Amino acid sequence: MKRFGLLFSLFFVLNCFASEKLTIFHYNDFHAANLPYKLIKSEKTVGGSAELYGLYLQEKAKTQNSIFLNAGDDFQGSPVSAITKGKSQIEILKVLKPDAFTLGNHEFDYGKDILQSYFENLNFPVLSANIWDKTKGKLFAPNPYTILERGNLKIGIIGLMAEDLSTLVVRKNIEGLTVLPIVETAKKYIEELKKQGVEFVVVLSHAGFEEDKRLAKEVPEIDVIIGGHSHTTIEIPQVVNGVIICQAGSQGRFLGKLDLEIENAKIVWHKGILIENEVGKISVDTVVVQKVSEFESLVSAELDQTIAKLETDWLKNWNAESNLGNWETDAIRKKFGCDVAFMNSGGLRKDLPKGEIKIRDFWEINPFGNTFVEFKILGEDLSKLVEFLTSGKSEEFMQVSGLFFDGKKLEVSEKPLVSNQTYTVFTNNYVTDHFYQYFGLSPEKFEFKNTEILDRDVFIEIARQEKVINSKVEGRIREK
C-alpha cells in the first residue's frame, strides 16, 4: 500500500509538471484574395481560400492540440467582396470556422451597420475588446475575448484594434465609435480572464507590428501576440519582453504555424514558421472551392475583358514614387484636366505583371470604391503643401502628377509655381476626409467638390483609350 501511495504521489507530481503542446495556426490581412494569384518576381502562383484552408487541414492533422486564428482585414480587395459588401467573406469564414477572428479596419469599409448585421448567426467568434460604441454604451463587437480549452490548457484570446482607426477609414463608416487604448484594455481583460482560470493569454491584434512590440513591452503578462494590419512577413517569431510576436504577411500567401511547449502555463520552447501556400503543392478543400465559385459566379464575365496591354510591370510602392502611382495620377489629370492630381500610396493594393490588363485588375488595384474630389488652392498654399509632403510628416507617401520638386525648384504643369495663382487639384474622398494628416493644411480653408465618379471607372476609361501602357518612375517629388 505504501508503494502504491508513493507511486500515485509520484504520478501526481509528474502530471502537474507535464508539458502541454499547442500549435497556433494563423493568417491575417487576407483582403478577399479568394482566388490564387501569380507573384511577379518568382512567377509562382500562391494564395486562395480553398488552398489556404486545405494547407491548414493538412498541417493540423500533424498536431496534437491546435487553434486557428485570423487577425482581421478579411474584407476588401476583390470585386466579389466589393459587390457583396463583405458578405462573401463572412460566408467563406463560416466554412473555415476560425477559432477566433478579430476585426480589422477594412471590415468597416462598407459601414459599421452592414458589418454589425453580419454578427448574427455566426459559427465562429468575432472579437474586439477596444472598439466602443458611444451611441449604445457598449462594445461594438460581439465579444472582447473568447476562451478555448486544448488538453489541460485554458487559453484566453483577446481581440484588439489599432488605436488610430479613425485615420484608417472614411469617418462616416465608424460614426459613433471610438477606440480605447490597447495597453489598458489588454490589462483589464487579462485580469478578467485570470479570474476565470485562464492560464495562457493570446492577443489577436490588428494594430501593426510596431504597436504589437509596444504592447509586449508594456504588458508582459501576454504570452503570444498574433498580429495583422502592417502586412509584416515575420518568418521567425520575434520575442519582445518575453512575449512571442507573429504575423504572416498578407493575401493568404502564407499560413503561420507556431509550435509551443508549455509547462505550468509558461512557454518553455517555441518554433514558428511561415508555410507558403503555393498552388499545386496542396490539396484544396472542395467545400471552400464550391463556396468561392458560388460567389465568383455573381461577378460579371465583363470583368475578365482585356482592355489594354502593359509593357512594364506595375509595381506599387507605399513609401516612394511608383510607376503605377504615376500612371494613375496622370490618368486623373487626363480625365479632369486639372493642374495637379494626388493619390495616397496605400490606396494602391496590387502589383500587376506586364501583359494583358483586365477590368478586374482595376477592381483589385483600387478596391475601395473611392470617388474623386476637386479643390482649388493658391500657389503659396500649394508650396506649403509640398513642403509638408517632403518633410516626411504626411500620413503616407503621396503619388502625384503635375508637380515637380527637386528640393529647390517647384513647378506646376512644367511651369514655375506662381504664389498668387489658383490651381485646381484632384484627389480622392479618403484623402480629403483626412486632409490635415495628408497635407498639413486646415481643411476649413478649402471647398471640396465631390464628383461622385469612382476612381476605378476613370482608370478603366483611360486604359481603354491608351491601349498600350508603359509608365516609369521619374523622380517627380524628392523628399528633403
Amino acid type, 97: K
Asked whether the beta carbons of 419 and 383 are under 8 A apart, the reply is yes
| Alpha helices, DSSP H, located in 308-423 | 323-336, 359-365, 379-390
Q: What angle do CA 89, 94, 96 make, to 5 degrees?
A: 90
pLDDT at 194: 97
Give the Cα separation of 348 and 345 in Å (integer): 6
* 194 phi and psi angles, rounded to 5 deg: -60, -35
SS3 state at 465: helix
pLDDT at 455: 97
- Three-class SS string for 76-88? CCCHHHHHHCCHH
C-alpha cell at 60: 493540423
- Outline which parts of the chain fall under CATH 3.90.780.10: 301-469
Q: Where in the chain is the domain with CATH 3.60.21.10?
A: 19-296
Which residue's C-alpha cell is 508539458? 19
CA-atom Rg of the chain in angstroms: 25
Distance CA 251, CA 159 (A): 20
Fold of 301-469: 5'-nucleotidase;  domain 2 (3.90.780)
Q: What pLDDT score does 12 carry?
A: 40
How does pLDDT run along the chain (480 residues), one tens digit per residue? 444 444 444 344 444 446 899 999 999 999 999 999 999 888 799 999 999 999 999 999 999 999 999 999 999 999 999 999 999 999 999 999 999 999 999 999 999 999 999 999 999 999 999 999 999 999 999 999 999 999 999 999 999 999 999 999 999 999 999 999 999 999 999 999 999 999 999 999 999 999 999 999 999 999 999 999 999 999 999 999 999 999 999 999 999 999 999 999 999 999 999 999 999 998 999 999 999 999 999 887 889 999 999 999 999 999 999 999 999 999 999 999 999 999 999 999 999 999 999 999 999 999 999 999 999 999 999 999 999 999 989 989 999 999 999 988 999 999 999 999 999 999 999 999 999 999 999 999 999 999 999 999 999 999 999 999 999 999 998 765
| DSSP strands (E only) in 106-162 | 126-127, 131-133, 138-139, 145-150, 153-161
How many angstroms separate the first and last alpha carbons of the chain?
Answer: 84
- The pLDDT value given to residue 247: 98
Other beta carbons within 10 Å of 197: 9
Q: What is the C-alpha to C-alpha distance for residues 341 and 326, in angstroms, rounded to an integer?
A: 10
Contact 438, 431 (CB under 8 A): yes
Q: Which amino acid is at 362?
A: F
Task: Tell me if 207 sits within 8 A of 162, measured CB to CB.
Answer: yes
Neighbours of 379 (CB within 10 A): 17
The angle subtended at Cα 210 by Cα 206 and Cα 216, nearest 5°, is: 85
Q: Which of 92, 82, 154, 148 is closest to 123 using CA atoms?
A: 92
- Cβ(216)–Cβ(245) under 8 Å? yes
CB atoms within 10 A of CB 393: 12
Residue 254 makes CB contacts below 8 A (sequence gap 6+) with 27, 233, 248, 274, 275, 276, 277
Name beta bridge partners: 243: 240
Q: Per the structure block, which three cell numbers stand in for 86?
A: 463583405
Q: Which residues pair with 423 in a beta bridge?
A: 377
Among 63, 75, 57, 68, smallest CA distance to 204 is for 68
> What pLDDT does 15 receive?
45
Pairwise CA distance, residues 34 & 37, whole Å: 9
Residue the block writes with cell 497556433: 24
Taking the model in full, what pTM does it have?
0.89
The answer to whether residues 232 and 254 touch, using CB atoms and an 8 Å cutoff, is no
- 3-state class of 356 per DSSP? strand
d(CA 164, CA 210): 13
Note the CATH architecture for domain 19-296.
4-Layer Sandwich (3.60)
User: Residue 18 has what pLDDT?
Assistant: 64
DSSP E strand boundaries for 175-334:
177-179, 200-206, 224-226, 238-240, 243-246, 254-263, 266-276, 306-310
